[in-house]
Each structure stands twice: as structure tokens, then as C-alpha cells.
Amino acid sequence: MSGPLDPTIANFGYIVASALFIIGLKMLSRQTSARLGNKLSSLGMFIAVVMALLSQPIDDATRMIIIGVGLVLGTVIGAVAAMRVAMTSMPEMVAVFNGFGGLASLLVGWVEFERGRVVWGLPDESVGLVTLIAIFLAVLIGGVTFTGSMIAYAKLAQKISGRPVLFGGQRTLNAAILLLAIVCGVLFITGVLSPQAYIAFLILIGISLLFGVMLTIPIGGADMPVVISLLNSYSGLAACAAGFVIGNTVLVVAGSLVGASGIILTTIMCKAMNRSLQNVLFGGFGAAAGGMAGVEGEARPIDAESAYYVLEAARSVVFVPGYGMAVAQAQHAVRELADLLEANGTEVAFGVHPVAGRMPGHMNVLLAEANIPYEQLREMDDVNAQMPNTDVAIVIGANDVVNPAAREDEGSPIYGMPIINVDQARTTIVLKRSMASGFAGIDNPLFYKENTRMLFGDAKASIEALVGQMKDV
């Protein structure tokens, strides 16, 4: 068998991979360059994996075969899952991937701890303190990320209730769990070779898994976009810690990038809801939310033919997509309707709320899939500034992000959250299957406004009916 790759060549490969990560991440900020950015980042990861494998002594054929089988299985599973997943299930898939990333970091820390118990000698000082701390962080953060992501997946997939699970003394219990985890970490760091230290390490693994559950169950379904980005950050931090454990520079860089970008995105999500991260994590948003009983008024239904006449006369139309558009897979029909409106001389724009859907950027991805020009997408503040002069606002399956209670009702749980003010348009057409509240379970008085018309039914079928009306003219 040949020897390991020269360290200079390996480090050069790691630098190239790190540069590709950074360039790819930068390119993800624009729709026009996002796909290329994703490909460059993937190429960087491929280079990093190859360099890591070639840097190891190739003296055990069985080990290399096992690694090869793992790479092939992972590639096949990932490719098949990515091709088969529906856009409505993309948030759940992201949650699962975050969880597996955390689990991988936990296992790396565990394996290195087991290896250390065998090969590390006395005294304990022969084991680097940084390595021990990194093992502790990889296990703790990795375990939290894994079980937290699984709970997020279960809520998003509606395997369990999306409502917050709250009980008395919950914060105190969480604080006690975290304190116990730190104590276990100190015990195994200071006595890594003793049987008691190994018991403390195993307890730490169990605590980290429990802590992930306890941190995620108090968070309601409406806060899932924030949770997804936060768990993504956790997975990056766990990977960064795992990089310190095994002494892999590029893993430290990649984990740091994911961790930092996830925190930044989480901050943006919280700002978009005008809430603090503490409130998201511990506020129990939606726990006491009711149905539509608190809102009085009469909804005004409209059919596709009547809606067509409203749109045909409109000089400006703003589409506001929500999760209902993803469920109905209506984005392509929406694009066709937008094209027909433009051909009729109508100015068309898309108002995308930062937390619309079930994960950050969910609506942007759907609109990009339908090849809707990036220039037609408007930030929430820009859309709101023009909304009073907009003839028609078409709400497609959105609910909480257009709920005027956030602006008008001080008693509402979402009061103060920035929304897209579709109720200020001259006419608002809401496409929904029923009068049911959104994922957060919050009453929406928009449905009863004087200028609101409810177009009931499947969003895709409703949009296609409007397209048919416009084509028949």
C-alpha cells in the first residue's frame, strides 16, 4: 500500500476547498448565481473529502473498503432522497439533514474518545485539553442537534402536534440538564482514563439527546423557520468541534461557515417577526391560540370568473405566496398568470415575507423553480410602501404573514410582528381551501375585511381557472 499524501499538498487542497466554500456561500445570495454557488460548494466538499482520505495511511484494505461502501451508500441515498422529495417536504428534509450532521459529529467525538481510552497514555496531561473540550462540544451540540432536528421534523411532517409543549418548571429543568451536562464534561475531561470518567461520558451522550428534545418541544410550528436555521447553525458548530477533535482544518472552516451563517439567518428571521431569540425558544408561541371564534364578520366569497374581471381591470398586482402555494404546487400556474397579466399591461410583483413557508427562503425556492424573474421579487418593506397604491393583492395560501392582527390587535400573540399589509390594497383576493387558521393557529381578521374576497378551493386549480378565463378573452 502507498503512504499518505504529502501534508503540503493536502493543505493546499484544503485551502482550495475552503475558498470554494466561501465563494459558493457568497453566490447563494442571488438567485442568478445560486445554482453555480451550490455546485462550487459541492466541488469544495468533494476536494476536502478526497484530501482527507488520501492524507491517511492506506495500510488497511478492509478499512478503505468500508469507507468506500459508506461513500457510495451515502451518495445514493442522498441523490435519491433529493430527487424524490416534494417541495412541500423540503423543510422536513432539511431538518433531517441537520440532525444527521449533528449525529455524525457526536459519533466522531465518541469514536475519538474510545480511541483515546486505548492509545492515550499516562499521565492525563498527554491528552490535549483542546481535544478534550472539542470532544465535549461535539457530543453535546451534536446530540442536541440530532434529537432537536428529529422533533422539528416530526412537527413539520405533522407526526406530532405542532403546538408548543409547555409545563411548569420547564426552564428550571432545562437549566438543570445543561448544568449536569457541564458537570459530566468536567468529569471526563479531568479523568479521561478512569472508569468513572467513561460513565460520565456516556451520561453526557444521553443528556445531550434529552436536551435536544427539551429545547425543541416548547417551540410552536409557526416558529419552525427560525428553528430550522438555528439547528443548521448547531450542526455547523458541532462539525467545527469535530474538526478540532480529528485535527481537520477544512472541517473547522466549513463548520464555522455553517455555524456563523446559521446564526446570522436566525437573527434575520427573528427580526422579521419582531421577536427575540429567547422569546422564540421559550415563549411557547401558539400554545393558547384558538380558532376563528375570536373574529367576527362575514366572509365574501368570489368565483374565478368574477376574480378575472377584477384582475383584468387592475393596473398593478402583487402576489403574496405562502405554504398553501407549496402544498398545491401552484408556482408554475402562478407564473403563467403573472405572464398573462403583464401581457395585459399590468405591473406584477411578488411580495415574499422572510418567514413565509416552513423554512427560510422556502417561497423564494418555489418561485425560482417556476423561473419567475428575480427582479419581480420585492422585499417586505418595499411592497408595503406601494401597497396602498396597489389595485389587487393576491394571497396564495399565506396566513400569519398577512394577518392584520399583528398591526391592530395588541392582545394578539403576533402583535408587533412585521407583516405584508395586503389589507391596504384596493382589493385583496385570498386563495384558501377553507376559513381555517394558519399553522400558528392564530385568528385572521383579513378574511372579513370589506375589500377582501375569498376564492375557495385548491390554489393551483383556482389559478388555472383564472388563467383559462384570461386565455378565453
Q: Per-residue confidence of the chain (473 residues) as pLDDT tens digits? A: 455 777 788 889 999 999 999 999 888 877 678 889 989 999 999 999 888 888 777 666 777 788 888 889 988 998 898 888 877 778 888 889 999 999 999 999 998 888 765 444 444 445 577 888 899 999 999 999 999 999 989 888 878 877 778 788 888 898 999 999 999 988 888 876 677 778 888 999 999 999 999 988 888 766 777 888 889 999 999 999 999 988 888 899 999 999 998 888 888 878 777 777 776 666 555 554 444 445 667 888 999 999 999 999 999 999 999 888 888 888 999 999 999 999 999 999 999 988 887 777 788 888 888 888 888 888 888 999 999 999 999 999 888 889 998 888 877 777 888 889 999 999 999 998 887 766 666 778 899 999 999 999 988 999 999 999 888 76
C-alpha cell at 378: 420585492
Residue type, 33: S
Helix, strand, coil: what percent of the chain each, to 5? 65, 5, 30
The pLDDT assigned to 104 comes to 94
CA 460/CA 318 separation, integer angstroms: 17
Q: Would you call 391 a catalytic residue per the annotation?
A: no
Cα atoms found within 13 Å of the Cα of residue 351, Cβ hemisphere only:
27
The pLDDT assigned to 462 comes to 92
Query: Buried b vs exposed e over 178-198: b needs ≥16 C-beta within 10 Å?
Result: bebbeebbebbbeebbeeebb
- Asked if 428 and 446 count as a contact pair (C-beta separation under 8 A), the reply is yes
The pLDDT assigned to 210 comes to 95
Catalytic residue among 124, 381, 400, 423: 400
The pLDDT assigned to 289 comes to 45
CA 473/CA 469 separation, integer angstroms: 7
The pLDDT assigned to 119 comes to 45
Measured on CA atoms in the order 71, 73, 76, 77, is the torsion positive or negative?
A: negative
The pLDDT assigned to 222 comes to 66
Per-residue H/E/C for 54-115: HCCCCCCHHHHHHHHHHHHHHHHHHHHHHHHCCHHHHHHHHHHHHHHHHHHHHHHHHHHHHH
**Listed residue (348, 424, 325) closest to 87, CA to CA:** 325
Cell match 470532544: residue? Answer: 135
The pLDDT assigned to 405 comes to 86
The pLDDT assigned to 340 comes to 93
The pLDDT assigned to 192 comes to 61
Helix, strand or coil, per DSSP, at residue 455: strand
Sketch out the chain's domains with CATH numbers: 85-282 (no CATH), 304-472 (3.40.50.1220)
User: Residue 393's Cα: distance from chain center in Å?
Assistant: 27
User: Residue 454's Cα: distance from chain center in Å?
Assistant: 30
